[in-house]
Amino acid sequence: MIPSIEWTHDNKVKMIDQTLLPHKLEFLELEDYRDVAKSIKVMNIRGAPAIGVAAAMGMALATIEYRTLPKEEFLKRMEEAADVIRSTRPTASNLFWAVNRIWEILSSFPDNPSNISELVVEEAKLMAQEDVNVNKNIGKNGATLLEDGDVVLTHCNAGSLATVQYGTALAPIRSAIEGGKKISVIADETRPRLQGARLTAYELQYDKIPVKVISDTSSGLLMRLGKINKVIVGTDRVTSDAVFNKIGTYLVALAAYDNEVPFYVAAPTSTLSLQETADDVTIEQRDSSEVKNVLGKVQIVPDGVECLNYAFDITPFRLVSAIITEDGVFTPEELLKKYKR
């Protein structure tokens, strides 16, 4: 797949408009951090690692806008920009991780805003490059869990489109196939925004990886029938007791547990937030119209009926067989031992 987001030579943020997929592959080119923030909120770009890189690039655009201001005014404006970007989506750790990483540069070089701007742009580009390297390593580590002939279920889209390139949950599949194994994918459609049907199916077809889409409620039956060997999902945040991922992930994990199907989570270390517990985390609630209407087009719920639209699920560690990071494969207990400070 082509990169989902990149910094252009003329200092713009170029991203695939994922709301148009699979029908149209079109790009947005943004020059204002406010537009980047909006693109995260309305999900032109989505997926925790891609959101993180977009946030860093948004901060870089803000430094360009404000670089001629005196230091104090510059930092005040940058704080406002950071708040706007942070307020877009509350659950993905990467958003906060990315803004904090840029903020470290801003606070350590406070004297010349113009120089800072160059450093921040370079850092944002570096974060995009690092994302791809991290995903490749997740791929190598996760591929060791896959056997020739495996059929892997995934939920939502934690592929190339959710990152800069290569993906997290889809990385082990890509890597195993590159290593000569025959692997095929079953993608949950993923109501209400249909990231599985629209995006996972699109990018796997684009890369000629066999994929079938199922309705969200089918995976339990398919596991019972022995048609799914493994589950791999991505994550927006890992706390000391649970994994946060797209709504519906918990039910998949329960079905996997009940059918003795391994349930793996691909998690770049930028999504780890191990000082928190699940109860500390705000679950994003999106506009109820996303549930009421299919992709904003066809209303499927009677007028006057309330809809609830929680965007993320909490899957407790007891249902997680292993977590794949860029450093290796860990049981939840091993993960805490390795990374918890």
Positions marked active-site: 236
The structure tokens 């048609």 sit at 227
235 lies in the site for ligand MRU, by CB under 6 A: yes
Contact characters 159-188, ligand MRU, x per CB under 6 A:
---xx----x--------------------
Q: Under rule CB under 6 A, which residues in 45-74 are in contact with ligand MRU?
A: 46-49
Contact characters 8-47, ligand MRU, x per CB under 6 A:
--------------------------------------xx
Concatenated DSSP letters of 97-124:
HHHHHHHHHHHH--S-HHHHHHHHHHHH
**Rounded to 10 degrees, what is the CA torsion of 196, 128, 16, 7?**
170
Shortest distance (Å) from residue 158 CB to ligand MRU: 4
321 lies in the site for ligand MRU, by CB under 6 A: no
Concatenated DSSP letters of 31-78:
-SHHHHHHHHHTTSS-SHHHHHHHHHHHHHHHHHHHTTS-HHHHHHHH
Provide Rg for the chain, Cα atoms: 20
> Terminus-to-terminus CA distance in the chain, angstroms?
36
Shortest distance (Å) from residue 197 CB to ligand MRU: 12
Shortest distance (Å) from residue 289 CB to ligand MRU: 16
Q: Is 188 helix (H, G, I), strand (E, B) or coil?
A: strand
Q: Under rule CB under 6 A, which residues in 192-221 are in contact with ligand MRU?
A: 195
Shortest distance (Å) from residue 241 CB to ligand MRU: 18
- State phi, psi for 154 to the nearest 5 degrees: -130, 155
292 lies in the site for ligand MRU, by CB under 6 A: no
Site of interaction with ligand MRU (CB under 6 A): 46-49, 156, 158, 162-163, 168, 195, 234-236, 245-246, 311
